[in-house]
Amino acid sequence: MTRLVAMTAVLLMAAACSDDGTTPTTPSPNTGPIVFTASLGAANEVPPVTNAEANARGLATITFNVPRNAGGGVTGAGTVDFVAQLTNFPPGTPATLARLYIGPAGVVGTVVINTGLSAISPIVMDATGSATLNFTGVPVSQADATSIVANPSAYYFNVHTTLNATGAVRGQLVRQ
């Protein structure tokens, strides 16, 4: 009898602690942010930079925050966050533009997403010739996000300076 009472008590406690009968789910890895990087170099520019900024380089991390379905397909517009670590510029160099373009390596492309950096309020390299560019919440359309996700190597990130107004460092996107 004691065993029956103990067993009944265990079953009642288990029933009281049970959930609503659904299996816990974890978010699909296909529905979170989409991250790309771009290794930036002056030699990647078209034509390659050969002046005082010829040794400039950097690394850009570009994060797309867009709604997606379980299969990973982009289902709406969203935002993009850009972080670029720049080095080996002459100290005091102003970065005047930072943009995402469509165009394969070696080809001058067309602007797709502008970070908002401008010559009116540039980001200036420090005494070591370095700077961090950080832009968050830049709008992206569903069509552009879908196209970039489908073929990231067809897009590049480019940073412009006063000395190299058409581009100082550039790198093709690679999905992480």
CATH of domain 26-175: 2.60.40
Asked if pLDDT for residue 5 goes beyond 90, the answer is no
Residues in CB range of 67: below 8 A, 6 or more apart: 74, 75, 76, 78
pLDDT value of position 34: 97
Q: Which one, of 60, 70, 72, lies nearest residue 149 by Cα?
A: 72
Residue ranges of the domains in the chain?
26-175
Cα separation, 148 vs 155, in Å, equals: 7
Cα separation, 33 vs 29, in Å, equals: 9
Lowest mean pLDDT among 6-15, 99-108, 119-128: 6-15
pLDDT value of position 23: 47
pLDDT value of position 129: 98
Q: What is the mean pLDDT of the chain?
A: 88
Of the two residues 71 and 135, the one the predictor is more confident about is 135
φ, ψ of residue 47 in degrees (nearest 5): -75, 165
pLDDT value of position 31: 73
